[in-house]
């Protein structure tokens, strides 16, 4: 189940969401570097979609390959 409906002519982007230390959620779109926040995951995602759309009005991205999203490990640095 998606948090947002997707129109058939929409372009799909990646969203990374995490709980913000001060409360609510932060959201990042790695394709554009846009970020946003919201009290809920759904609000953070809506705000991110709006911020990304505004960014793309000024800085259009070429259509093409999707980014590779993966994970990596770092040795304990405490």
For residue 56, the model assigns a pLDDT of: 93
Ordered DSSP codes for 23-50: SSEEEEETTTTEEEEESSHHHHHHHHHH
CATH classification of the domain holding 68: 3.30.160.250
Which residue range forms the structural domain that includes residue 38?
A: 1-78
pLDDT digits (tens, 9 = 90+) for 2-43: 455 555 677 889 999 999 999 999 999 999 999 999 999 999
Number of domains making up the chain: 1
Residue 72 sits at the vertex; the CA angle it makes with 67 and 75, to the nearest 5 degrees, is 155
Q: Which helix (H) or strand (E) holds 54?
A: helix 41-58
Range 50-56 average pLDDT = 96
Are 45 and 27 contacting, i.e. CB atoms less than 8 angstroms apart? Answer: yes
For residue 4, the model assigns a pLDDT of: 52
């Amino acid at each position: 189940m998606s948090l947002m409906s997707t129109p058939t002519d929409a372009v799909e982007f990646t969203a990374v969401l995490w709980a913000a230390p001060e409360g609510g959620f932060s959201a990042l779109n790695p394709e554009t570097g846009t970020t946003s926040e919201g009290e809920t995951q759904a609000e953070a995602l809506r705000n991110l979609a709006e911020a990304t759309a505004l960014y793309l009005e000024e800085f259009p991205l070429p259509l093409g390959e999707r980014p590779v999203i993966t994970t990596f490990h770092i040795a304990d640095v405490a």
